[in-house]
Structure 1
Amino acid sequence: MLNRVTLYLTVFTVIVCTTGAALAAPSIHFTQYRFFFNEKNKSDAFVIFNNGDEAANCKLSLNHFNIDEQGELVKVKSADEVPNAANNIIKFSPRNVTVRPNTSQKVKIVARGLSRVNEGEYVSYLNMLCKSVRQNKPGIFKLNAAVAYNIPMIVRKGKFNAETSLVSAKLVNHANQATLRVVQSRKGNRSLYGDIKVYEEKTDEVIGFLTGASIYTPAQKKIWNIPLTKPLNSKKIRIEYKENKQFGGSLEANKTFKLAK
């Protein structure tokens, strides 16, 4: 069965065995959560940090997802199931590395062969599976956790156009919290990536925000649930969307909504 994923950066933990004692563990962090390549920018890198007190072994590979009608990611088993996979373009090293406690490891990424592919946007996800490296003493069982990250790799070749608009906004109760449900549309031949801010119209105060809001092709819309940080004093709100220029976009959208009572 296909696995649905709701965030561009996904994390899961696999438990192998446990004891009741407090255990040491690696603590993995890295410096970049998204990468963008084009004909002018063909290389990049990030650093894996282990701030824990045990070594971590990290294995790197590529994962792939299709996009459903709601704009959600649906994991597939093979790059052949994705029409715009970047697996033949994205190259990286190392693919298997052990990061000792309080040390780091640099990972290099390059986009190769752009001259040989058709114009378009290509997407793959760099999967990084990290688990602790430990030697258990005889008769002692310990927790062994594996944590996986999926980091988007976006590659573009050629000319692109895109449009976006904020279609609707509705106040709802989501996960026991006052939440603004926003519908955003997308048109064009590339994905969108940016930040959303919600302002109370009366005070111009930010009362909600969402960073890293992605809409991938071919999805034409996405529904966002944005938790409000404080109660509304009026029913008028203004929503602002701005693309992140670092990742190949400069679109902006603003709209004022009067929420239903």
Structure 2
Amino acid sequence: MFNKYVVILFLFCFSTISHAGVSLSHYRIEFEPNQRLQHLYLFNPSEEAQTYRISFVDMEMKPDGRLEQSDGVKNSAKKYVRISPRQIKIAPNGNQTIKLLARNSHRLDVGELRSHLLLTEVPKETANNINQALENSLGDDEVSVGLQMTTSLSIPVFVRKVPSTNTQVALDSYSFVKKDNQLSLNMQFSRYGNTSVYSDIDVYAGNDIEPIAMLRSMGFYYPLPQRMVNLNLDNWDGHSPLKLVVKRHGTEQVFVSEGLNLVSALAAIH
């Protein structure tokens, strides 16, 4: 009796914007009020064709910014956005387009819906051939393990009934923390409004024009009320006054402009 076993392991790697197989034109899709059609462009810079299945998944943002897949999201956009096609094959050095159509957004009873567009790579035929070769080469009572890497990319898709420009961000509190000889700034922000919002955070020292610490495009997803952020302050000289500036991402609209308590920072160091 022959006991041959082939175990194929699927490894999923999540990322945004680009990886070795494909590059995306956007890292998020936003349907503002009265917008119905959006396009996502994909480019394959490799020398091999890439195939992806396209679907939606719901994710919940935690206060520290982590995203966790969830089936209980109340403001899911799945039923309100149609995507076409559902599977694409991108030729080497070629490109493809995904169309997204928002439907019945005027009927929303909340300010914003959100789901995440998931692109899952379809395993290549060569991987299947390798696994078949492993199976054929097995002796009696041998077990083979085949490794098959599957990459997935996800980006948020927002459907809004009210403009995102109405949503504001405010600083609730902050503290300085020293851990493993590294000083960092912990901040808690609140979101005011019925949509998600993206912010740019800068920390300046003294009269420096360039920030000593920064965070670009901080996502703060509706309906999460508070969001925690930590920035490393290794580049601070230990005595210059510190200033925190938070702006709406990509604009000069200021949410927060506040000098930080130098005494608290020095106390954290010592």
TM-score normalized by the length of structure 1: 0.77
- In the TM superposition, what whole-angstrom CA distance separates every residue of 1:170-215 from its partner, at most 9, and x where no partner exists? 3335687543322222223222212111111343431111112111
Assess, with a 3 A threshold, how the Cα gap between structure 1 residues 120 and 167 changes in structure 2: closer, same or farther: closer
Does residue 148 in structure 1 map to residue 142 in structure 2?
Answer: no
Alignment of 1:200-215 (within 5 A): 200-215=205-220
- How much is the aligned-residue C-alpha RMSD, in angstroms? 3.1
TM-score normalized by the length of structure 2: 0.74
**How far off its partner does 1:27 sit?**
2.1
Assess, with a 3 A threshold, how the Cα gap between structure 1 residues 43 and 176 changes in structure 2: closer, same or farther: farther
Amino acid at match of 1:238: K
- In the TM superposition, what whole-angstrom CA distance separates every residue of 1:7-39 from its partner, at most 9, and x where no partner exists? xxxx9529xxxxxxxxxx962211100111123
Bigger Rg over Cα: 2
- In the TM superposition, what whole-angstrom CA distance separates every residue of 1:223-256 from its partner, at most 9, and x where no partner exists? 112234623342521111111369xx95622111
Match for residue 183 of structure 1 among 188, 208, 221? 188
Assess, with a 3 A threshold, how the Cα gap between structure 1 residues 62 and 122 changes in structure 2: closer, same or farther: same
Question: How far, CA to CA, are the matches of 1:203 and 1:26 in structure 2?
Answer: 37
Query: Which region of structure 1 is more displaced relative to structure 2, 97-106 or 197-206?
Result: 197-206
User: How many pairs does the alignment contain?
Assistant: 236
Amino acid at match of 2:13: T
Query: Which region of structure 1 is more displaced relative to structure 2, 40-49 or 178-187?
Result: 178-187
In structure 2, the partner of 1:66 is 60
Does residue 220 in structure 1 map to residue 222 in structure 2?
Answer: no
Is the 2:32–2:161 contact (alpha carbons within 8 Å) kept by the matching residues of 1?
yes
SS for the counterpart of 1:54 is coil
**How far off its partner does 1:70 sit?**
5.3
Question: How far, CA to CA, are the matches of 1:130 and 1:46 in structure 2?
Answer: 16
Alignment of 1:164-183 (within 5 A): 164-173=169-178, 178-183=183-188
In structure 1, the partner of 2:204 is 199
Alignment of 1:18-37 (within 5 A): 27-37=21-31
SS for the counterpart of 2:106 is helix
Assess, with a 3 A threshold, how the Cα gap between structure 1 residues 205 and 69 changes in structure 2: closer, same or farther: closer
Is the 1:164–1:251 contact (alpha carbons within 8 Å) kept by the matching residues of 2?
no
State percent identity of aligned pairs: 26
The answer to which structure has the higher strand fraction is 1
Is the 2:32–2:163 contact (alpha carbons within 8 Å) kept by the matching residues of 1?
no
SS for the counterpart of 2:47 is coil
Assess, with a 3 A threshold, how the Cα gap between structure 1 residues 68 and 180 changes in structure 2: closer, same or farther: closer
Amino acid at match of 1:231: W
In structure 2, the partner of 1:93 is 84
Question: How far, CA to CA, are the matches of 1:223 and 1:94 in structure 2?
Answer: 37
Question: How far, CA to CA, are the matches of 1:174 and 1:85 in structure 2?
Answer: 39
Is the 2:12–2:149 contact (alpha carbons within 8 Å) kept by the matching residues of 1?
no
Assess, with a 3 A threshold, how the Cα gap between structure 1 residues 230 and 241 changes in structure 2: closer, same or farther: same
In structure 1, the partner of 2:46 is 52
Assess, with a 3 A threshold, how the Cα gap between structure 1 residues 167 and 158 changes in structure 2: closer, same or farther: closer
**How far off its partner does 1:69 sit?**
5.3
Does residue 257 in structure 1 map to residue 251 in structure 2?
Answer: no
**How far off its partner does 1:92 sit?**
1.3
Assess, with a 3 A threshold, how the Cα gap between structure 1 residues 101 and 113 changes in structure 2: closer, same or farther: same
In structure 2, the partner of 1:18 is none
